[in-house]
Amino acid sequence: MKGIVCKVCSYVAINEIVPEQCPVCGAKSFIEKDDALKTSADKAEKGETEKKHIPDIKIHKACGLIPDACNDVHVKIGEILHPMLTEHNIQHVDLYANREFISRVMFTPDRLNPVASIHLKSGFSGKLAAVELCNVHGLWFNEVDF
């Protein structure tokens, strides 16, 4: 999948608009790539690699912390939990609402599982996307309707 990638931090502009500066690190250095992101459509049948990398997005309409004002969004990296070793790990997951960047969650190998949770304000509708970066297998994308 096409994307505009920050050369410094691997943020991807999935809306295909080159930002003035990276919303994550502030850099002004981007490269446009036709194959920036891998998706489930890259393979006809999901193999083990895809099952460990495609972000699994779950939306819970009832928030446990802020009832009636929030939706919980959980992202687990992979249908099969991705390893978190020094030599092979998920470095971060970026979240997008209607293809606009909203958050980055960083991971530390050997201490964290590759899962993230955010609390999205009520009233949002559209598409929610996740892009994760594996230090071995690159950037992976998934998007769901909200």
Looking at the annotation, which residues are catalytic?
48, 52-53, 82, 88, 134, 137
Residue 5 within a domain: no
In a domain, 33, yes or no: no
Model pLDDT for residues 125-136, shown as the tens digit of each residue = 899 999 999 999
Does residue 12 sit within a domain?
Answer: no
Predicted local distance difference test score (pLDDT) of residue 45: 60
Calpha distance 66→64 (Å, rounded): 6
118 belongs to a structural domain:
yes
Radius of gyration of the chain (CA): 15
pLDDT tens figures, 86-99: 999 999 999 999 99
**Overall number of domains in the chain:** 1
Q: What is the largest CA-CA distance in the chain?
A: 42
Q: What was the pLDDT predicted at 64?
A: 81
pLDDT per position as a tens digit, 49-77: 888 999 999 998 888 888 888 989 999 99
Domain of residue 86: give its range.
Answer: 49-145
Q: Is residue 13 part of a domain?
A: no
CATH number at residue 68: 2.60.40.730
Strands of 70-77's sheet in order across: 55-60, 70-77, 115-121
Residue 31, pLDDT > 70, answer yes
Residue 18 lies in a domain: no
Please indicate, yes or no, if residue 68 is contained in any of the structural domains: yes
Confidence of residue 42 (pLDDT cuts 50, 70, 90): low
pTM over cut 0.85? yes
Query: How many whole angstroms separate alpha carbon 49 and alpha carbon 53?
Result: 6
Instruction: Please report which residue ranges of the chain form alpha helices under DSSP H.
Output: 48-53
Look at residue 35 and tell me if it is in a domain.
no
Residue type, 130: A
